[in-house]
Chain A
């Protein structure tokens, strides 16, 4: 509903042709998304109707190499290595770097040679952090 409102307001009068065509491309994108998700939903529903439903207690147990499951389950607070957390944090930092780099890359040819030193400074600053991470052995999974 919100989407419909958004697009009708964007397509309203007083917009130039270029703006309209951009909005229309995003509308096409939403159509594609809806079709793709719709196929997934349809497959799940059809399978739920057609498949047999003879669940037993043993069938519904979680897999644990033939033993009775021990602990487990959603939200029971299983512990896992902190490395995953560190990698996720590093990813956020470097992904922001990538996000900053994209506009620079697209507009680069209009900004040279000044932009080269900008980019170099930025990369060097990040390299300091990267070397620190390496020295702290964050990326060693031993």
Chain B
């Protein structure tokens, strides 16, 4: 029994659920390191083979057998899995607030957005992107929300520490323009044209 083939087989069967390195190691009876090498070997093999549509990606700490990027357009109409669906603007806003400030309550999300978020929260829960993570020791015992493992997979990272950070320098410059008392005309115009560009690109 070829070990590379065994790895490929296990990844194929697990599909979108994927397998962690230690699960793979247990099943193939290899060391974790050897497993890692096998996976890299497989990845290389797929990469070289122009006649293969497969690749292996690592998200949320699991390896998953998936199609290569360049086939996305062909599959777009065929597959409508939650992972390949985009969220609405409001759902994204709520999701990012929860991702960065978790665990937090619905009220805290509402305060930050200035609008009621209960509908969006139930959507995100249905998609398994967020979950209840206990209750706050406060009157009314409100639920605390946090992100799930699927959220990591959804945005294609392995760990919350990989979340993108706000570019503070740019952010502060913009802040001075918007809220500062100083009259920074040039900066303002630059920022505005940048914003307009962004809008056009969207």
Partners in one complex: no
